[in-house]
Every structure is written in structure tokens, then in C-alpha cells.
Chain A
């Protein structure tokens, strides 16, 4: 019994190379084969293979990385985004095998025993599951070994779409040539290197008692991993519970009231099982199937939470959508209700003291997010920067606001107060003329060709300019051809009393914002 606690579990690990980079590329709409680096605390956290080919490495300072690869695109490391985008892959795996543990986004572990029996061998199981994952991410690979650590490194060496199986007991041998830095504990591995222990094998050769004495419990654990006895167990994630409720009609029902009456009991069961799990339902989906093969599917939202009677109401309303009077156009054979968003029942109890308005706000906004998408609901903070678009930092609801530039710094060149109240997301092109009708321009030295006299919009409207100020030059990042910006800003008040912020850059004159 005691031995089995320490003997490593045969583990299958599925690995997607550079998942954080792939996720960032997907989220920012950048091709994944471009040179990309993710920034974390001013260092490269992860980079794409194209960037690696140019000499970019994990742990490099961003400046240094940009010097090595000038076309490098840098994004922030965002664990929440990486986890969210990996969710479909987990769902895909869970469709073919239970007990998937996500070690981190991009890497998941499964106990090899069950799947290898099902697929007829560890090699076959690895190939099958890597194939499942490869439908979403073509570069996925699999590894099977004793314990998650060895299996992950086997997967790393397998190559895209392939599987590497390390036979039982051979993991220590497989790991031996790897450098100690793969253990991922910089304090310990740095010390080991200084002591002349450069490979996992050399570390594993040390006596366990000596390691325990010198490096403590953490060192002993790593020593165990290095010697191929990774005691970690695969801890399968608990998949979200299934609460769907179905009812089949045999023979098909023809009337709405019949269907609604028959559905009362299942609706009560539906809410009761949610309540038993201490959950409430704020949105649900009703799927209908009719005997002519058609059907309808619709999501219903509730401002608070659904009660059984309200679930029946929603079914009735949905049936009324495709009916004549009280009769249905075709017989109803199947109804399925699934909760779309559930919440802890505690958030919805009437408070004894105070109110729960903040939770209510959160539910309402989450509901809007489920309607329009995650990025449609935003919160704003003020960041640093010289451009209006840089200073307004918008973050999707529910995510932590990160302000990339410090607003407390002086930012010379930013606009003086008061700030414009309407900032146009895409600037509106205009033409500005002087008194003689010539277009006003600014020369290379920043001098204005003539005082602006009137302004014409693309729709043909013309307004006289009453007073104006500018040009205020703004030249940023002249050392970086891709990010360099050079523009002149003007404030002006037209004959109707409206005040505008105009920008003149290489695209011509544009209205950037309005003061009203």
C-alpha cells in the first residue's frame, strides 16, 4: 500500500506548443507564424517559433528581444484569455475521455490506464487524443510516461500530431540528458548549476537523503521527479454538471395547452435539481422538435431567476411563436431545456440587511455579455499617453483593469483640460481652407501655410472658423518606423459655436473629437 503511493501513475499528457502565443495571436487577429512575444513584467514570457528563430528567448528583456527581432509584435501575457480560449479544446477531449486535468492552458494530463485499454495501447490512445486536439490546434502532440512531468517532456519531444511513449520504468533514463533548468525552479536550478550539476540525470544521481538535508522538502520533491518517480496524481477536473431536462411526447401533442400541462412536472424537476445543487438559473435554452423533423431553439433570459411556472411560460411563448391560435402547426415530439447561465443561490437571496445591488449589476452585465459577447461590455479607466485613444483604457467587464502607461506621469503633449466629450472612434475626414480657398497645410518645420478660414466635411457642409489654436506638433516613436506617429493638432470653434479637435497627419485633416 505504502509503495503504491509513491509509484508514479502512467500519464498521458497532451501538449500544444506555445499555446499562450497562439491564444494571443487568435485574440489579436495576428497570424500565428508571425514573430510574437508575450510580455510579463518587462520580460519575454513566451514567444512564437518565428521569434525564436530570430534569437528571442523566454526571460529576455523586451528591449533586448526587439533589438534581436525588429518585426517582433509584443502583447501582454493574459492567463484569463489563454484559459478561456483553451476551453473548447478541453470540451473536445472530454467528449472522448473523462478525467482530463488541465495542468495549465495548453497542457492537459489524463491517466493513461483507462484510455490505453479503450484504444488498445498507449501509442494508439495518444494518437487518437492528439488527433482530436489537432482538429482545433494542428501542432498538438502527446507523450506517455511515468508521471506528468516526464510525460510532458515526452510530448514536447514527440513533434506535431505524434506521440512518444516512454516505457514504464524508463522515465529517469529519458529525463537524464535534459538540463536542470526544465525543473522550472530558478532558485534551485541556479544553485545546482553553480554546484556543477547541469543535467537532470546528475541531479537524480545525488543521494535522496543528502538532497533532503541540503534543499529541504521542495528539493526532495524535485529529486523524486528527476529520478522518474513523479508522485503527482492526475486529478481530473469535475466537468460542469448536466442539468438538462427533456420530455418526449408519444404520440406527438397537437395543442399548446397540452404541451404546457405535460411540461409542468419536468419544469419543477428542472428547478428542483438546480436548487439541490444550490444554483439558480438566470438564462435557459429551450429546444423543440416536431414530428415533421423541424423545430426551434431559443434562449430565454430572466431579470432575476426562473421559477418552475416561468419555465413553463417560456415554453408556451416559444410554442405560440410557431402556431395558429391554440393549435400547433405540427405535432411536438420532444422538448429539451438546458440552463445557459446558472449562479450560486446565495447571490440571489434577499438580503436581511443592506442590499445585493452590486451582485444584481453583475448578473445584468453578464447577461448582456451572453447576448453580445464578452468584449461588448466595458469598464473604463484613465491611462497615460498623449493620444485620446491611448488614455481611455477599456477593459471587458469581469476582467481586471491593467493600465499600461502610468497616468500620473506628466505626458507632455497631451491635451489641456477640459477634455473633449465626444471622441470619434474613427476620425472623420474634412478639408480646411484658407481665406483664398487654398488648402491649409503644415510644412516640415511645423509652420502653417495660412490661417484656417473655413472647414468642409465630406458631406459638403461648410462652416466658417471663428477662432483657432495650433498647430500643436506631436511626434512619437520616431525611432520605430512601424509605431512612429507625426501629427499636428488644432482646436477650433466654428460659426455655430461648436468646438472641435482637428488632427492633420499624412492622411490629411480629420476631426478627432468634439467639445460639447
Chain B
């Protein structure tokens, strides 16, 4: 009996995945302006209005995602990040006059995020509590209604893509000499169906603080469907492995 139940659950899940895949539009749809390098990595070729994205490991990556919409005149909000480095954001190219900070929303962070989603185009939020699927889909509906984009700094269920900055390699520091100048890192985006795309980026003085593609190849990978549900950590590990194997093949 129990085994049968499990089977049904598996079947339902598989069907849901198929429906979701069918629902995904074939055509390149409308996207918000995104920095060219990052647009290559994102599914759909850019930030999709109404979608949510989750970012792990790099505030600078989150800032860079907001640069494109902000320079096209969109408003951005940052919720729940008192440590948001304003100067770094300006250095990345983010126009501060179109950025609003709500550093300490406390328990109201979700209500604040929802309110902002009504009017601003991009909302970066650092959730202070675990977000359930029900909450996420409620917020998603609101995002879709107003064509806003949510960027979660941390885990977020039902994210259009999970972006991760890995293997950062800082340059310019010696043993007691120099200063940080440049950083090369791999940005990997994993979409809902488990496809991953990654590219090597650099940030720093030389590139006027902007993210720029260091090597022009974009590496794609495909995950096995069972690893899809094993949580973010396992997922990114598998992606890294997949990415690495492809990298070797390319080079």
C-alpha cells in the first residue's frame, strides 16, 4: 500500500515536471535589460518579468543583475540587507538614485517585499525565515501581475534559476603587499529543469567594476532528474562536476 502511494507520488511529480516543461515557452520571450555576460547564463537570455531568481554566495552578483534594469530606468529595492555595500553597488554600475533600501523590515519582510513588488521592477530580498512553497507561489502571482523580478539572496523555492558564484580567485594580494584588484569566478545558473549554464567572469579595477566575461565559452550541462530533488547543496555540487567535465571537453 505504502509503496503504491510512493509510486503515485513519483508519477505525479514526473507529470508535473512534464507539464512545466511543456508550459515553458519555446520562443525567446520579453526580458528585462540584463548585462550581456549575465544574459548568456540566464535561462531565456535575461531576467524574465514575473520570475524569481535565487542567488547564493555573492552580493556583487546580485548587484550586477540589477544593473541592467536600473540603467534602463527601472526602480530596484533591497529588503533585509543592512550589510548591502552601497559603494560596491555604485562601483558595479548600479544607479543609486533608483535604488531603495529597507535594511531592517523585521517580521514584515514578506509584506514589504510584496508591497515593493507592486511598484518596483526588481526587488532583492534576503529572507530572514524559511520560505515555504505556498508563500513563494503567492508572491509569484503578485510578481507576474506587476511584471516585477524577485532576486532572493539565499534559497528560494520555485526560482526560475539558481545562480551561484563559485571558485572565486582574488588577485593582487601578496604576503603583506599589494591590494585586492581583480577577481575571477565562475557563475553557474541552474534552471528549473536542471539544465545548467556557467561562464567565467571577472570583476575589478580593470573592468571598471563591471562583470565581464573572462572566457567567452558558456558551458551547458544537464542534470539527472533524481538529483534535482536532492536540495540545493547536492545540486550545485553535481553542477560543478558536470560543468568541469564539459569545460575539459571544450578545452
Contact = CB atoms under 8 A, between A and B. Distances in A.
Interface of A: 301, 303, 357, 360-361, 363-365, 367-368, 371-372, 376-382, 388, 391-392, 394, 397, 416-425, 448, 451, 467-470, 491-493, 497-499, 513, 515-516
B14 interface: no
Contacts, number: 160
B75 A420 contact: no
A417 B209 contact: yes
Interface residues of B, number: 53
Interface string B27-69: 0000000000000000000000000000001111001000000
B94 to A, nearest CB: 10
Contacts of B205: 416-418
B215 interface: no
A516 B83 contact: no
B85 A469 contact: no
Nearest to A426: B82
Contact of B82 (A425, A451, A498): A425
Nearest to A501: B180
The 10 nearest A-B residue pairs measured at CB: A364-B119, A467-B173, A421-B88, A392-B86, A419-B87, A421-B59, A421-B60, A380-B86, A419-B88, A303-B118
B59 A417 contact: no
A362 to B, nearest CB: 8
Given A364-B115, A368-B116, A422-B85, A515 B180 contact: yes
B85 A421 contact: yes
B112 interface: yes
A469 B101 contact: no
Contact of B178 (A365, A388, A469, A516): A469
Contacts of A377: 100-102
A360 B119 contact: yes
Given A378-B101, A380-B96, A368 B115 contact: yes
Contacts of B178: 469
Contacts of A380: 86, 89, 96, 99, 101
B51 to A, nearest CB: 19
A376 B88 CA distance: 21
A468 B175 contact: yes
Interface in B96-114: 96-97, 99-106, 108, 111-112
Q: Indicate the member of A301, A376, A492 with the most B CB atoms within 10 Å.
A: A376
Contacts of A499: 168, 170, 173, 180, 183
Nearest to B62: A421
A515 to B, nearest CB: 6
10 contacts: A365-B100, A380-B89, A397-B100, A417-B204, A418-B181, A469-B174, A491-B179, A497-B169, A515-B60, A516-B58
A467 B90 contact: no
Given A378-B103, A379-B99, A418-B209, A391 B173 contact: no
B97, B168, B173, B203 — which one has the most chain A CB atoms within 10 A of its CB?
B173
B170 A493 contact: yes
Nearest to A491: B180
A415 to B, nearest CB: 8
B169 to A, nearest CB: 7
A357 B91 CA distance: 26
A365 to B, nearest CB: 6
Given A418-B203, A421-B58, A491-B179, 18 more contacts: A357-B75, A360-B119, A364-B115, A364-B116, A376-B102, A388-B87, A391-B86, A391-B87, A416-B180, A417-B204, A418-B91, A418-B204, A418-B209, A468-B173, A468-B175, A469-B174, A515-B60, A516-B60
B38 to A, nearest CB: 16
A378 to B, nearest CB: 4
B103 to A, nearest CB: 7
A499 B169 CA distance: 9
Interface centre among A357, A368, A371 (most CB of B within 10 A): A368
Contact of A492 (B83, B91, B173): B173
B67 to A, nearest CB: 13
B105 A469 contact: no
B108 A372 contact: yes
B120 A361 contact: yes
Given A372-B108, A379-B97, A392-B87, A303 B115 contact: yes
Contacts of A364: 115-116, 118-120
Contact of B104 (A303, A376, A470): A376
B10 interface: no
B216 interface: no
A207 B167 CA distance: 87
A58 to B, nearest CB: 35
B165 interface: yes
A379 B102 CA distance: 9
Given A394-B101, A421-B63, A497-B168, A469 B115 contact: no
Interface in B120-139: 120
B183 A416 contact: no
Nearest to A378: B101
Contacts of B111: 371
A80 to B, nearest CB: 19
B176 interface: yes
A499 to B, nearest CB: 5
B183 A515 contact: yes
B177 interface: yes
A491 B174 CA distance: 10
A469 B102 contact: no
A384 B177 CA distance: 26
B58 to A, nearest CB: 5
Contact of A423 (B85, B90, B91, B116): B85
Contact of A516 (B89, B100, B168, B175): B168
A426 to B, nearest CB: 9
Nearest to B114: A303
Nearest to B178: A469
Contacts of A360: 118-119
B104 to A, nearest CB: 7
A419 B112 contact: no
B180 A422 contact: no
Nearest to B118: A303
Nearest to A467: B173
A372 B101 CA distance: 13
A376 B104 CA distance: 7
A417 B112 CA distance: 33
A470 B175 CA distance: 9
A421 B170 CA distance: 14
Given A365-B100, A372-B112, A498 B168 contact: yes
